[in-house]
Structure 1
Amino acid sequence: MNTFGHLFRATTFGESHGPAIGVVIDGCPPGIPLNEADIQPLMERRRPGRGPTTSPRNELDQVEILSGVFEGQTTGMPIAILIRSTGAESRDYESLRSVVRPGHADRTYQQKYGIRDHRGGGRSSGRETAARVAAGAVAMKCLGLKGMTIRSRITEVHGVSDPALFDAEILKAKERGDSVGGCLEVIADGCPPGLGDPVFGKLDAAIAGAMMGIGAVKGVEIGEGFASAGMYGSEWNDPLFRSGPATNHAGGILGGISNGEPIYLRLAIKPTPSVSIPQETVDLDGTERVIEIKGRHDPCIVPRAQVVAECMLALVLIDALLMRDRFSGFV
């Protein structure tokens, strides 16, 4: 399952400490203006090494479009995008070759496949999300032609909701060798009505699946989400007027279909599992060990996860848009 989407399909490849990662996009409509400059700004938002609150791993994450674009426009053929890795330091992980890291996918990969890449987690690493961002940037370019935009903001870091204190909370965790999580909200504006298909192709179900497919995400709310459980029906229902709904408790989706209002969701992001505080674990033989994870890790993944969430939402929406308009053409 390395491919995401139905009509607009993104297949990512590569490992955290391999020579490159990348994505092949199949199903992108022809005639979309596209070049590396359309993708690079989003890569810059995700890449590590941009300051004290992110991983010091220094990757330039320069994208190379290898196919599917001719004279500045997409051709309708597969778009291959390559991102070469230049900052990997695999020696940092040699001591973990036979050790299971708490909070990581080491043990489940070993149990399922009988083999794992101990260098930063291989495919389970957050490094893989760079390929998703490249694909999402192409999706956003397509959505922009339809007047759709996606934005996000951090709403909480480790229980702190004042943005002025976010960096301080992250650096406090970093200083003690620990990490923290937080929450994001993601909003799609300009989404037309009619995206999503009942019963098992609901738009909110697709969005929730896409967001939970991001390794650090442990919870998703759409609209009022869990707060809905404490509301009266008369409170939750969005009153309708000629100009449209007065509120948007539904988060822009009713019956699994977009209603033309902004699509609004919130994500809960776990703390980065790599911490240098001593932790109890076992090795591959089951022998109990105590480890302190060294290397270069984010003390909080929330800031870099913003653009990943935006791009995954873009991939869901372009796919839904193409499925709605498959017989009428895109451009």
Structure 2
Amino acid sequence: MRTYVGGVNEGIRDARRQLIGYLLEKDKQGLVKYSKPNKELIPERIQPKSPTNKATSSTEQVKQTPKTESEHDAILKAVSSGDLYLLQELLKGLDVNTALLSTDTLLHLAAEHGKEAIVYFLLRQGVKLNLKDREGRTALHRASGRGHTAVALALAKAGADIHATDLMSKTPLHLAAQNGHENTVKVLVHEEKKSLKNQTTVLHMAATEDDATLAEVLLRNGTLVDTRDGQRKTALYHAVRQGNEKTAGVLLKAGAQVDSVIVDAAFELNRKSLLSLFLRYVQKSMSQNEITEKHNKQENRQ
């Protein structure tokens, strides 16, 4: 037993020496990057037309809700069918945020059915963007889960929370990805990148949860692999810290930067399979560098 443990420990020490040597060599070549997040403008927001459309507090007077079940059903039908003219008539004197007799809002329903004109109308009326249904989902969750890309984009640009989570801890991006709506994923990834400022992204969540499939979809659609959160940590750091080898492998394959902080996190776990993953990455990376150097030397000779 002692012989076995000694062998494992020696293997780990050897792996550490190789990784540290690799990092030092990369540092000399200026390959280890500590990039700062780009400062982007906040997405444009759709403003209500008049002060009367502003969201009301619990102490303020609100408009009426539908008086009869038939009136309520008529509103449901108008939204689901996309009949904007009829909806405008039915909503006279009603609060757009409480016009349905359930936890669903008009915006939830319009988003779920992909009724873009209805969504824009409700946004102009000052509808609350981030109200949640009984599953904890916002209108953006509904649009994203159904793949209604234009509606999802309109909601995101209006200020809907891209990182809002439902009762299952799923964001709108999670739902779009798991349902195979890659156009919606691409649009939301783009909006997320525009508003990033040292915050946790869906890629960070995927790394923490070891959702390698989600990570692959996000990276395929433009998510930046080395974006840092509020603690200045990348998705790879969180994957390594949690021992999530599958997602760590996806991130490394996508070109995630390895620095001394990430290597230290790997050694703290003391998991041989994770260290082997890093060594494979190091060997592959060093081989690529050697090929590049040889190619450059040949060009210089010519």
Shorter-chain TM-score tier: under 0.3
Highest CA radius of gyration, 1 or 2? 2
Between structures 1 and 2, the one with greater strand share? 1
TM-score when normalising by structure 1: 0.19
- RCO comparison, higher one (Cα < 8 Å, 6+): 1
Between structures 1 and 2, the one with greater helix share? 2
